[in-house]
Structure 1
Amino acid sequence: MKTHLSNATLEKLPVTVVTPDYDRTKVSAGVAHIGVGNFHRAHQALYLDRILALPSQEAWGILGVGIRQGKRETGRAEAFHKQDGLFTLTEFSPDDPAVVRVVGSIVDYVSCNEGYDALIRRLADPAIRIVTLTITEGGYFIDADGAFMLDDPFIAEDLKRDIPQSAFGLVCEALRLRRDEGVGPFTVLSCDNLQHNGTAAQSAFCGFAEARDPSLGAWIRENVSFPSSMVDRIAPSVTDADVARLNDASGVEDLTPVYSEDFRQWVVEDAFCAGRPEFEAVGVQLRVDVAPYEQVKLRMLNAAHTVVSHIGLRIGYRTVHAAMQDLRVVSLLESFLDGDVAPLLTPPDDVDVGEYARNVLRRFRSAAVGDQLERIASDSFAKLPVFLGTTVRELIDAGRDISLEAFTLACWAENAANVDDKGAPFDLREPNASDADLATLRADDLAAPLSLTLFDGWGVAGSESFASRFVAFRKDIRERGAAKVLADMQG
């Protein structure tokens, strides 16, 4: 019989489960996190969990903040309250036994179901000194020129509200209260897969504040720090079947278990206006410049994930591990990483891009993680420019072969039908695409997708070679299937 997870049952859990080695009753929230999903709980929450075990760090617990109304948010809030913020994290290794641990760093949770004004008051609490974010790559409303999209209908509507509901509005109103009450600012730390995510966050939050109240915008620009960060850990979506599987293996009755690979990395710009935890003591890499680490991760790991997801789905696979059993897919990824991307990078001194590429492929081969291709391939309108745009542009500018990239994007375009080459359905979500965007993607004109704004700055519009390869691959995939096309590409 499995043990229900709560503070009261921590000492009754199976001895194989690692539990917090600190007194949670002494922990208070100094970090508020917006977007308490699987990745945050498998990554930042674990780092903070390890920090809380250190002396004099008990003020750095996490306040979870749920800002999206709906059934999912209601269930998450109820689960956090029933389990006192506790959850299990199972870390799978390609070579060693899995490790199950209870993470205890989330010590409180506030939901928008309690009212958005309640969220603002909690963020305005002087104890909160850092606000972290995982709101997805497309959640910052930044256009191709780096400007905040004030004309987006969601943002325009939120600017009119007395009590806003977006992450930008909530944080800005909390900062207004802190300014007016003389409390001082907090740091806003983006943990999303964006190049220069600190700059993107500053543009978004300051853009919102300046549109709402220029004096508040000026105060935020002068007083709030927006450090950049690079986060890395594969944490798949958790299905109902996964919940049952993870709980059966752990012996814990957990309403919200998560799982991940055993690898993790966090590189953070050391710029905090209101203090910070002892990040360096638990393996966080504090740097003056995060950008070199960022470009390696986004253009190698995330880009390779994008490549394998669209090609794998087209062929008929559903998990990364399954696609990695196909030697044709592995060979293409090796050519992409070693031949196309690595020569274009200027990595940090402590990163060997060849070793990095080999480690990426090792991580992808983990059967236990079994990451879903649908999860990775979804939201491509936000992801493709970040992960592939710079590489494609630089390859075109250098006059180099762009076959691998054109083939990947041809598979992406064909995947818009949500059916693979074998006729089996899948479900890709595109929350950042308009109806017009999706119509263009699915148009009879096979070159039409290259006119989408997501390709602005890639150089594809002026490259006849790229466009012709893209169209030729789409035709060939339709006639023969992606697997045969891929086999021919490799001779």
Structure 2
Amino acid sequence: MSNALRLRATSCAAALPGVTQPAYDRDRITVGVVHLGPGAFHRAHQAFYFDQLLAKDPRWAICAVSLKSPGVRDALEPQDGLYTLAQLDEETTFRIIGSIVEVLVAPEDPPAVFARLAAPMTRMVTLTVTEKGYCLSSEGGLDESHPDIVHDLAHPREPISAIGYLVEGLRRRFLVGLPPYAVVACDNLADNGWRLKAAVTAFASKIDPELAAWIEAEGRFPRTMVDSITPATDDALRDRVLTATGLSDAWPIQREAFTQWVIEDVLGPDAPDLAGVGVTLTDDVRGFERAKLRLLNGVHSTLAYTGILRGHETVFEAVSDPVLAKLAHDLMVEDITPTLTAPRGLDLQAYGEAILKRFRNPEIRHLLAQIAWDGSQKLPFRILGTLREALEAGRPIERLAVPLAAWMRFVRLRVSTGEKIVDPLADTLVSVAAACTGVAKTDVSAFLALGSVFPAALATNPIFVSAVEKAYAELGES
């Protein structure tokens, strides 16, 4: 099939049977969304939701803006913005996404980006620029020493950062009396919308206090949560898409079938009907974040460390191990769920079952080693909060101690085999692990002395220490 048709508007209809096509006339849709940072996750996630929405409301097509690289534009422009989304499940499905109708490269054509941001039809700007793209300081505010922010404050009409583009777009709307667009951050950063609004307002205050006051009063920056595993595109996916669709696609996207988008319900009356296409609108984003952090991420970390110790490489392999499958289920149902209060719109039992089903998806090769990175930073948020609450409530903590002990064993294993530790505390962890002897009491004590990981009140709690020592010893015997 080397001479297969390239995916584009004129060839789209030639796709093989079973491929889902855009359910709308692309010649009759208009841009209502500007997206900054159109990487794989955006095209697998937000663009997928807007693709469904366009079948009901033609006003919400996307102008995608790459802030640095022309790679997405170069791949999608010959395809008229079309690409294939492979949804990986027991039965993989293929869908041609048509919601992106324009791709701009900001450094090549800033006026075109400004025109889109200032257009009356643009009512939402979404972002997937990674946490670094928010240019925040360690305290969480705008990092005025960041090179991009230094540049943009000196040259506010010629921005290079996401913050700079957002402010310049809002400034142009302010000058002509247009309402501000809603700014929807879609990166996994706690209180992302609130932090972004604070950074944007702080930036604006440096160049125009009146503009800053308008953004503060009128701007809508909802907090959000997004979730869907999106493996990287490779030649194997391109070949698979070619076989399934009959069309050659330069940059198809793949993700698990599960997808979640939670948005704080402050978008206002002129917002798109995202709830109608499966988005959760809520007044408690933190409740969803907490459930994800503890049920999904906490169990993920547990499977990572225990799975590696039992010789597994992927989440699928780990959860296929009966011992670890039972540990994950019991941890989720008996230890973590009781610490959560379900926000409106979330069924904790169903959510937990969905997570376990995701872990059992054979089409997703999620490496345990990757999940195991940065354990010193992740475990305090993913496990210790749950464990501390369980202690305070007088509930058992034996299972909750397992991921902590498994992490200690994992670090010691990596050091003993000379493998690299990927962690901000790598040097310290190597020193601690090198001094370990395998005796639970002394080894655990050395790890618990890491004050940046284990709070003193917890590290000196005899019930906690005993539980970790017991789990550590048992993991050494297994």
Q: 2: CA distance between counterparts of 1:414 and 1:154?
A: 40
Change (3 A) 1:306 1:22: same
Task: Give matches, 1:179-190, under 5 Å.
Answer: 179-190=174-185
Write out per-residue CA displacement over residues 124-158 of structure 1, whole angstroms, 9 at most, x where no aligned residue.
3332211112234565466786x415266456545
Q: 2: CA distance between counterparts of 1:103 and 1:212?
A: 39
1:359 is matched with 354
Contact 2:306 2:403 in 1 (8 A): yes
2:59 is matched with 59
SS state of the match for residue 101, structure 1? strand
Letter in 1 for 2:64: G
1:91 is matched with 87
Residue 107 (structure 1) aligned to one of 101, 106, 111: 101
Q: 2: CA distance between counterparts of 1:209 and 1:315?
A: 53
Q: 2: CA distance between counterparts of 1:19 and 1:34?
A: 25
1:374, distance to aligned residue in structure 2 (A) = 5.0
Residue 342 (structure 1) aligned to one of 312, 337, 341: 337
Residue 148 (structure 1) aligned to one of 141, 146, 159: 141
SS state of the match for residue 342, structure 1? helix
Q: 1: CA distance between counterparts of 2:407 and 2:148?
A: 29
Q: 2: CA distance between counterparts of 1:395 and 1:90?
A: 41
Letter in 1 for 2:32: G
SS state of the match for residue 21, structure 1? coil
TM-score, with structure 1 as normaliser: 0.80
1:40, distance to aligned residue in structure 2 (A) = 2.0
Q: 2: CA distance between counterparts of 1:76 and 1:142?
A: 26
Is 1:42 the counterpart of 2:44 in the alignment? yes
Residue 74 (structure 2) aligned to one of 53, 66, 78: 78
1:205 is matched with 200
Q: 1: CA distance between counterparts of 2:163 and 2:281?
A: 26
Write out per-residue CA displacement over residues 39-80 of structure 1, whole angstroms, 9 at most, x where no aligned residue.
2222221111011111xx21200111222x3xxx33222102
Letter in 2 for 1:75: G
1:400, distance to aligned residue in structure 2 (A) = 5.5
1:93, distance to aligned residue in structure 2 (A) = 2.6
Q: CA RMSD in A?
A: 3.7
Contact 1:159 1:212 in 2 (8 A): no
Q: 2: CA distance between counterparts of 1:225 and 1:304?
A: 34
Q: 1: CA distance between counterparts of 2:428 and 2:103?
A: 41
2:17 is matched with 15
Q: 1: CA distance between counterparts of 2:232 and 2:418?
A: 21
Change (3 A) 1:161 1:385: farther
Q: 2: CA distance between counterparts of 1:393 and 1:154?
A: 40
Identity of aligned residues (%): 34
Change (3 A) 1:113 1:169: closer
Q: 2: CA distance between counterparts of 1:410 and 1:387?
A: 14
Contact 1:149 1:155 in 2 (8 A): no
Task: Give matches, 1:298-447, under 5 Å.
Answer: 298-313=293-308, 315-348=310-343, 350-373=345-368, 376-377=371-372, 387-388=382-383, 390-395=385-390, 397-398=392-393, 407-409=402-404, 437-444=425-432, 447=447
1:331, distance to aligned residue in structure 2 (A) = 2.5
TM-score, with structure 2 as normaliser: 0.82
Task: Give matches, 1:243-282, under 5 Å.
Answer: 243-273=238-268, 275-282=270-277
Q: 2: CA distance between counterparts of 1:416 and 1:110?
A: 45
2:5 is matched with 3
Letter in 1 for 2:262: V
Q: 2: CA distance between counterparts of 1:197 and 1:189?
A: 9
Q: 1: CA distance between counterparts of 2:84 and 2:134?
A: 30
Contact 1:30 1:130 in 2 (8 A): yes
Change (3 A) 1:464 1:117: farther
Q: 1: CA distance between counterparts of 2:65 and 2:374?
A: 23
1:487, distance to aligned residue in structure 2 (A) = 7.0
Highest Rg: 1 or 2? 2
1:91, distance to aligned residue in structure 2 (A) = 1.5
Q: 2: CA distance between counterparts of 1:36 and 1:391?
A: 35
Change (3 A) 1:258 1:264: same
Contact 2:402 2:472 in 1 (8 A): no
Q: 1: CA distance between counterparts of 2:211 and 2:376?
A: 32
Letter in 1 for 2:475: V
Q: 2: CA distance between counterparts of 1:355 and 1:114?
A: 47
Moved more, 219-228 or 147-156: 147-156
1:349, distance to aligned residue in structure 2 (A) = 5.2
SS state of the match for residue 183, structure 2? strand
SS state of the match for residue 91, structure 1? strand
Contact 2:135 2:146 in 1 (8 A): no
